[in-house]
Amino acid sequence: MGIEKLTNAMRKVLPLKKCGAVIVAAGSASRMGGIDKMMAPIGGEPMIVHTVRAFQNCDAIRQIVVVTRQDLILPIMDLCHQFDKVQCVMVGGNTRPDSVEIGLNALSADMKLVAVQDGARPLITGAVIDRTVRAAHTYGAAAPAVPVKDTVKVVKGGVVESTPDRSTLQAVQTPQVFDADLLRGALAKAKADKAQITDDCSAVELMGMSVKIVEGDERNIKVTTPMDLKIAEILWEEMQ
């Protein structure tokens, strides 16, 4: 039996490791023009509710921790009472990696995998969550991504320096799912090295580990600006 067939056969036999989710909703929303995006309505419900509900409804997720700002603790706790997988709602740190670490440490010790999700990606689907968790179960680290459509330029000083081959570029989304101990070690090393990491995959990559890429979803956008919020509302309506 070939390696790939053997791996697939083992995945069918071995039970899926328990996976907890850390939903990071602690950002300042500085580009939202005064709109508090976590509480901004999409389809009549706050954005954060859509994000949490997707993980609540996914069988691959056993437990959820939401990490947010101090001023949102009580409102989000109130909203999360309807979700029995939510273990707690906690105040985040000064940086995103700090917030992820806080959420990771709040998960039960038997959560061997951890899915880190942007709270501002309210259109995440159960299908994307499930296939990313299953890939992390096999490979130790996985993330969804979609091919880049635009030609990307590397620019310095307002001048094009180079043009990467678009066929090699993908836009990475969340959830990014990892072996929990691997992520703990990666975040600790990144902090010790004062490394500038842009996502959790970056921390793992700095340790020389590979991240398995799975198929993402173009609707799984991150709401960063008021325009993104309008687009999310339109996409949500189409998904109903």
DSSP the chain: --HHHHHHHHHHHSPPPPEEEEEEE----TTSTT--GGG-EETTEEHHHHHHHHHHT-TT--EEEEEE-GGGHHHHHHHHTT-TTEEEEEE--SSHHHHHHHHHHHS-TT--EEEEEETT-TT--HHHHHHHHHHHHHHSEEEEEEE--SPP-EEETTEEEE---GGG-EEE-S-EEEEHHHHHHHHHHHHHTT---SSHHHHHHHTT---EEEE--TT-----SHHHHHHHHHHHHHH-
Maximum Cα–Cα distance across the chain: 58
- The rounded distance, in Å, linking the Cα atoms of 105 and 63 is 13
The pLDDT value recorded for residue 196 is: 87
Residue of 174, 96, 86 lying closest to 132 (CA atoms): 174
Q: What is the pLDDT of residue 12?
A: 53
Mean pLDDT of the chain: 92
Query: Of 138, 143, 124, which is closest to residue 7 (Cα–Cα)?
Result: 138
Range 26-47 average pLDDT: 82
pLDDT digits (tens, 9 = 90+) for 105-147: 999 999 999 999 999 999 999 999 999 999 999 999 999 999 9
Mean of pLDDT values over 166-173: 94
Q: Angle 47-56/126-139 helices, nearest 10 degrees? A: 50
- Rounded to 5°, the CA angle 209-213-219 comes to 140
Mean pLDDT of all residues in 151-172: 94
Model confidence at 34, in pLDDT bands (50, 70, 90)? low
Question: What is the predicted pLDDT for the residue at 1?
Answer: 46
What digits encode the pLDDT tens for the residues 100-109?
999 999 999 9
Report the alpha-carbon distance of residue 48 to residue 65 in Å, rounded: 12
Q: What is the pLDDT of residue 180?
A: 97
pLDDT in tens, 192-219: 999 988 899 999 999 999 999 999 999 9
CA atoms of 128 and 240, how far apart (whole Å): 17
Per DSSP, what are the bridge partners of residue 40? Answer: none
Taking the C-alpha atoms of residue 38 and residue 202, their distance in angstroms, rounded to an integer, is 25
pLDDT of 155 reads 96
Taking each helix axis from N to C end, the angle separating 73-80 and 47-56, rounded to the nearest 10 degrees, works out to: 40
Mean pLDDT, rounded, for 41-47:
95
- The percentage of residues in the chain with a pLDDT greater than 70, rounded to a whole number, is 91
Does position 11 have pLDDT exceeding 60, yes or no? no
- Quote the pLDDT of residue 5: 61
pLDDT > 90: what percent of the chain?
A: 85
